[in-house]
């Protein structure tokens, strides 16, 4: 049958709301007692990167109000407001500042359903509407109590949670596949680019040359241009760090032509970040018409090497160490001069071997890109399904026992 009851209920009627201690727990280097701060809760997950640890005494003091348990929901009040995730199993955590614990009343609400609902656009808007603060939004306990949750019957909540949890498992599996593929590619790069592992039938002989011996290196324009609504794309550091060249600012044709007289981007060239972020690179595999900023270095294509091979070598541990040694770390932002980039050593096998290595690594890249596209599609499909199921636009069928 299709459930026909769909009421909005307040968080206060669905959960016990437990505030954090309004002080910072003592941090130590490592322990089995974790401190969850607002930065550790993102997109419905507990993020362990940069997590802090506390002492047993700190844990006991910071959990006097309640010890977070599996099935509880962590909720951030600020920076940003409204991020939520379930407390995982078999883990000792206490709340950092600006966190709230929602302990669901199990006879009324399914914990997974609740955590999912808090991530809907409808709920995010309600959180934004109730939040205060001109620069950093925050939501008060009193307003958290008022937040409305669309609540079908408990059995329908459970069914929705099961459906969306299946999607989460598929997404988690795909994310692990991506991480494994990236790790395998890094290992392969380390072997092939250092000559530790040779390809069948290809030479492992390596020559070491400075980069400025085999190519020319330029930086981009030293003046911040006046941007126009439409014109020629203008590349900067963020385009390389995000690996996204689809969204750019534009400069006029006149500015482009003047800069083009000095240096020209072409297919097969390599762009590399040299100010702020150091050493992120992009092989230009398309016909390019663009200008670029001084924060980027242009490594020109040359008959001396296979450009795609060199782009992989730039990402190798050996070359990145060379860059690190030559970077001016006392500057802010840190930077590396063109001359120092040119003095970095590169390992070059014969061109035929370079080409084969580039092919092998590009196959690994295609596999990673395919998985990343699949992951993006899964997330979009799950989001669309969430919006339908958690807002009552689409109902689930419940079977009679």
- Cis ω for the linkage preceding 41 (within 30 of 0): no
Three-state secondary-structure class, residue 234: strand
Q: What is the pLDDT of residues 157-181, one digit of tens each?
A: 999 999 999 999 999 999 999 999 9
Cβ atoms of 14 and 108 within 8 Å: the answer is yes
Can you give 286-347 as a three-state secondary structure string?
CCCCCEEECCEEEECCCCCCCHHHHHHHHCCHHHHHHHHHHCECCCCCCECCHHHHHHCEEE
Say what the pLDDT of residue 203 is: 80
> Could you say which residues of the chain have pLDDT below 50?
1-4
Three-state secondary-structure class, residue 159: helix
Angle at 371 between CA 355 and CA 160, to 5 degrees: 180
Integer Cα distance of 247 and 230 in angstroms? 12
Say what the pLDDT of residue 397 is: 76
- Quick one: tokens of 135? 């620069």
Say what the pLDDT of residue 134 is: 63
Integer Cα distance of 400 and 106 in angstroms? 21
- Burial (CB count within 10 angstroms: exposed 0-12, middle 13-18, buried 19+), residue 363: exposed
Cβ atoms of 296 and 340 within 8 Å: the answer is no
Verdict on whether the full-model pTM lies above 0.75: yes
Half-sphere exposure of 395 (CA within 13 A, CB side): 15
Integer Cα distance of 360 and 98 in angstroms? 49
Say what the pLDDT of residue 122 is: 87
- Burial (CB count within 10 angstroms: exposed 0-12, middle 13-18, buried 19+), residue 272: buried
Q: What is the pLDDT of residues 8-57, one digit of tens each?
A: 999 999 999 999 998 999 999 999 999 999 999 998 999 998 999 999 99
- Quick one: tokens of 1? 């049958």
Say what the pLDDT of residue 209 is: 95
Say what the pLDDT of residue 400 is: 60
Say what the pLDDT of residue 195 is: 84
- Quick one: tokens of 124? 């995010």
Q: Which residues pair with 217 in a beta bridge?
A: 299
Q: What is the pLDDT of residues 83-126, one digit of tens each?
A: 999 999 999 999 999 999 999 999 999 999 999 999 888 898 99
| Listed residue (92, 62, 98, 96) closest to 79, CA to CA | 98
Ramachandran quadrant class, 374 (left: phi over 0; alpha: psi -120 to 50; beta: rest): alpha
Can you give 354-373 as a three-state secondary structure string?
HHHHHHHHHHHHHHHHHHHH
| Listed residue (295, 316, 299) closest to 307, CA to CA | 299
Angle at 143 between CA 141 and CA 148, to 5 degrees: 120
Say what the pLDDT of residue 6 is: 67
Quickly count: other Cβ atoms within 10 Å of residue 341's Cβ: 24
Query: What phi, psi does 293 have (nearest 5°)?
Result: -90, 165
| Listed residue (110, 109, 119, 150) closest to 14, CA to CA | 109
Integer Cα distance of 383 and 387 in angstroms? 6
- Quick one: tokens of 325? 């040694």
Say what the pLDDT of residue 391 is: 83
| Listed residue (159, 133, 138, 15) closest to 79, CA to CA | 138
Which domains, from first to last, does the chain contain? 10-151 (3.90.220.20), 153-197+352-401 (1.10.287.1120), 207-348 (3.90.220.20)
């Amino acid at each position: 049958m299709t459930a026909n009851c769909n009421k909005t209920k307040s968080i206060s009627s669905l959960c016990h709301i437990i505030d954090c201690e309004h002080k910072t727990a003592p941090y130590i280097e490592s322990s089995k007692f974790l401190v969850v701060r607002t930065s550790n809760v993102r997109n419905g997950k507990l993020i362990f990167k940069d997590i802090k640890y506390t002492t047993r005494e700190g844990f006991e003091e910071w959990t006097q109000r309640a010890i977070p348990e599996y099935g509880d929901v962590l909720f951030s009040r600020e920076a940003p407001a409204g991020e939520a995730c379930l407390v995982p199993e078999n883990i000792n955590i206490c709340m950092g500042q600006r966190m709230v614990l929602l302990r669901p009343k199990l006879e009324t609400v399914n914990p997974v359903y609740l955590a999912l609902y808090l991530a809907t656009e409808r709920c995010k808007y309600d959180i934004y509407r109730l939040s205060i603060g001109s620069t950093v939004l925050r939501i008060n306990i009193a307003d958290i109590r008022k937040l409305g949750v669309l609540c079908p019957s408990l059995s329908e909540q459970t069914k929705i949670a099961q459906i969306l949890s299946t999607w989460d498992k598929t997404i988690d599996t795909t994310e692990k596949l991506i991480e494994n593929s990236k790790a395998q590619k890094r290992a392969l790069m380390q072997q092939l680019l250092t000559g530790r592992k040779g390809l069948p039938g290809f030479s492992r002989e390596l020559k070491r040359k400075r980069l400025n011996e085999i190519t020319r290196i330029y930086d981009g324009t030293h003046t911040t241009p006046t941007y126009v609504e439409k014109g020629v794309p203008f590349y900067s550091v963020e385009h390389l760090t995000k690996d996204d060249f689809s969204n750019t600012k534009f400069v006029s044709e006149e500015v482009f032509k003047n800069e083009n007289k000095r240096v020209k981007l072409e297919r097969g060239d390599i762009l590399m970040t040299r100010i702020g972020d150091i050493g992120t690179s992009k092989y230009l595999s398309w016909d390019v018409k663009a200008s670029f900023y001084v924060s980027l270095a242009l490594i020109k294509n040359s008959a001396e090497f296979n450009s795609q091979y060199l782009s992989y070598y730039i990402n190798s541990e050996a070359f990145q160490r060379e860059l690190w040694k030559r970077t001016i770390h006392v500057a802010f932002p840190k930077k590396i001069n063109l001359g120092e980039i040119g003095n970095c050593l590169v390992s070059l096998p014969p061109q035929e071997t370079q080409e084969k290595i580039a092919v092998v690594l590009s196959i690994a890249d295609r596999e990673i890109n395919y998985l990343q596209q699949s992951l993006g599609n899964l997330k979009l499909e799950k989001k669309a399904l969430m919006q339908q199921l958690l807002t009552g636009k689409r109902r689930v069928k419940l079977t009679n026992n």
